Amino acid sequence: MITGNMPKDLPPDEKTIYEMIAGRMLEAFSPKCVKDATSITLACSDVLFEVTGSIIKQAGWRKVFNEKEDNEDEANNLPKVCEGENLPIIQSEVLEKQTKPKPLHTESSLLSAMEGAGKEVENEEEREAMRESGIGTPATRAAIIETLFARDYIVRDLRFVLSKICLKYVKE
**Mind giving me the DSSP string for 61-112?**
GGGTTT---TT-SGGGSPPP--TT--------------PPPPPPP-HHHHHH
Q: Specify the pLDDT at position 26.
A: 85
What digits encode the pLDDT tens for the residues 96-145?
988 888 887 878 888 888 888 878 788 888 888 777 777 888 889 889 98
> Is residue 31 within 8 Å of 62, Cβ to Cβ?
no
Higher model confidence: residue 73 or residue 94?
A: 94
pTM here is: 0.41
Is 119:127 a contact under the CB 8 Å cutoff? yes
- Give the mean model confidence (pLDDT) for residues 140-156: 86
**Residue 127: what pLDDT?**
80
Q: What is the pLDDT of residue 72?
A: 53
pLDDT at site 21 = 85
Predicted local distance difference test score (pLDDT) of residue 172: 54
pLDDT tens track for 32-81:
989 888 888 888 888 888 888 888 888 888 888 886 655 455 556 777 88
φ, ψ of residue 29 to 5 degrees: the values are: -105, 10
State residue 15's pLDDT score: 84
